[in-house]
């Protein structure tokens, strides 16, 4: 922080107040007492000095603009918090690892003994678990937010919940159900089975939800590993303008369900149940996640976002577009 040295017709009192406040780190109340001024007058002088360009603030650390973009995201979307990392690589996997480390640190900041955490599947979740490095054990319970899909490490939500609990020193519960039922009726039966109901009740009343935000635009994203979709179902996803998914619920850019007949077969938390969880951390990075993130924010599905700065800038633009 410096007092601008460009020649100005600045009165002696203003120079003295600004020097004492910015260079000598003297509080406003102390300045008022020393110079026999009212606190209100000191505040006015400091504010005017900033507005007139008499003071320049230079933050001497890398990527200082990240905080500004975090603040803009919170202001424009209604998020409670946003954590952004610098996208330093053109490799999406590298950026995912960096964002996952930030999400892991954020989870540890918010975590308290006795908490229940519900988690989604996905590559972001797997990366977070790989990155997390707790310095103590946490007496927490980790449960899946959905049924699972075996075959890939990032779709087996039971394994992810177990792995996170193991790293935290807590314990986990498994859900013995697939992610998709054959029909909505079958889904309702599964949800009420004792082995599922216990886990789902814990998930509904979780203190923290940690979820990935998925894309579906290309037709080759992780979502398409969850179910063998028919050509007709893929056509509906395209025709209904589905842009993303959260907990495998397909959503449009406004944050609304865009494929009800498929979403209603999901064994897991509904969007409405997710929205009631106090801390909902969404994690997504890279440019293909811009529309999915904007959709999740529009639907109030997450209230904390962890992403990268390049993605965040595009999300801010998308939020402006959809608000018009």
Give the domain CATH number at 123: 3.40.50.1360
Q: What's residue 5's pLDDT?
A: 47
Q: Could you give the number of structural domains in the chain?
A: 2
Q: Is the separation of the CB atoms in 244 and 213 below 8 Å?
A: yes
pLDDT at 199 over 60: yes
Q: What's the order of all strands across the beta sheet hosting 279-283?
A: 81-85, 304-308, 279-283, 208-212, 116-119, 141-144, 171-172
- 281 vs 81: CA distance, rounded Å: 9
Give the domain CATH number at 46: 1.10.10.60
pLDDT tier at 130, thresholds 50, 70, 90:
very high
pLDDT at 245 over 50: yes
Q: Which is more confident, 322 or 186?
A: 186
Place of tokens 């519960």: 173
Residue at 61 is within a domain? no
147 in the same domain as 248: yes
Per the structure block, which two tokens stand in for 42? 């000191």
pTM given for the model: 0.81
3-state helix, strand, coil in the chain (%, to 5): 50, 15, 35
**108 burial type by CB count under 10 A (0-12 exposed, 13-18 middle, 19+ buried):** middle
Query: How many residues are given for the chain?
Result: 324
91 in the same domain as 46: no
130 lies in which domain range? Answer: 66-323
Mean pLDDT of 195-220: 95
Q: What percent of the chain has pLDDT over 90?
A: 80
pLDDT at 60 over 70: no
Mean pLDDT of 165-169: 98
Which residue in 92, 157, 105 sits closest to 310, CA to CA? 92
Q: What's residue 295's pLDDT?
A: 97
pLDDT tier at 89, thresholds 50, 70, 90:
confident
277 in the same domain as 255: yes
Mean pLDDT of 292-300: 97
N- to C-terminal Cα distance for the chain? 39
Mean pLDDT of 5-21: 76
């Amino acid at each position: 922080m410096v007092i601008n040295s460009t020649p100005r017709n600045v009165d002696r009192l203003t120079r003295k107040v600004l020097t004492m406040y910015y260079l000598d780190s003297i509080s406003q109340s102390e300045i008022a007492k020393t110079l026999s001024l009212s606190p209100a007058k000191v505040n006015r002088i400091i504010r005017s000095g900033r507005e007139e360009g008499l003071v320049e603030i230079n933050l001497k650390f890398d990527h200082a603009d990240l905080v500004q973009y975090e603040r803009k995201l919170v202001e424009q979307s209604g998020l409670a918090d946003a954590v952004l990392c610098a996208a330093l690589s053109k490799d999406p996997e590298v950026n995912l690892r960096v964002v996952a480390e930030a999400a892991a640190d954020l989870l540890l900041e918010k975590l308290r003994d006795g908490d229940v955490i519900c988690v989604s599947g996905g590559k972001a979740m797997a990366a977070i678990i790989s990155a997390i490095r707790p310095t103590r054990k946490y007496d927490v319970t980790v449960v899946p937010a959905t049924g699972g899909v075996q075959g890939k490490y990032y779709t087996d939500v039971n394994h992810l919940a177990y792995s996170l609990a193991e790293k935290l020193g807590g314990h986990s519960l498994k859900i013995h159900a697939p992610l998709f039922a054959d029909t909505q009726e079958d889904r309702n039966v599964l949800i009420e089975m004792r082995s599922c109901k216990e886990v789902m009740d814990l998930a509904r009343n979780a203190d923290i939800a940690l979820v990935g935000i998925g894309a579906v635009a290309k037709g080759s994203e992780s979502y398409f590993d969850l179910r063998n979709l028919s050509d007709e179902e893929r056509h509906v996803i395209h025709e209904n303008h589905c842009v993303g998914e959260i907990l495998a619920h397909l959503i449009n850019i406004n944050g609304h369900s865009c494929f009800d007949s498929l979403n209603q077969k999901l064994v897991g938390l509904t969007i409405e149940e997710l929205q009631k969880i106090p801390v909902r951390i969404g994690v997504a990075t890279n440019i293909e996640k811009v529309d999915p993130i904007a959709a999740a924010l529009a639907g109030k599905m997450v209230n904390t976002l962890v992403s990268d700065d390049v993605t965040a800038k595009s999300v801010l633009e998308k939020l402006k577009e959809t608000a018009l």
